[in-house]
Amino acid sequence: MLEQVIYKWNNTRRTLARILSDTYRLLSEDGRGVTRGDIQRDITRLFRSNAEAWTGLRAPVSDVPTQTL
């Protein structure tokens, strides 16, 4: 079961990366500036804040610095 979750997560990450990069590129081409902060905020909402709000749980904050985009 864990192998399926890992496989699906890797597949989902690649798909999301393409979708998000296309979206930010289109926004930029339309004249809306996209900053690293915008991208960081959206990714945090997508993978953390929305899940926390839905479950009512709060994930621990990592001491590891976030990767620079």
Q: Evaluate whether residue 14 is within a structural domain.
A: yes
Tens-place pLDDT, residues 11-44: 898 999 999 999 999 999 999 999 999 999 999 8
Q: Evaluate whether residue 7 is within a structural domain.
A: yes
Please count the structural domains in the chain: 1
Nearest Cα to Cα of residue 16 among 50, 51, 47: 47
pLDDT at residue 9, as a whole number:
86
Q: Evaluate whether residue 19 is within a structural domain.
A: yes
Nearest 5°: phi and psi at 68? -75, 135
pLDDT at residue 26, as a whole number:
97
Q: How far is CA 18 from CA 3, 43, 52, 65, in A?
A: 23, 13, 25, 24
Is 24 within 8 Å of 39 (Cβ atoms)? Answer: yes
Domain of residue 2, residue span = 1-25
> Residue 14 has what DSSP assignment?
H
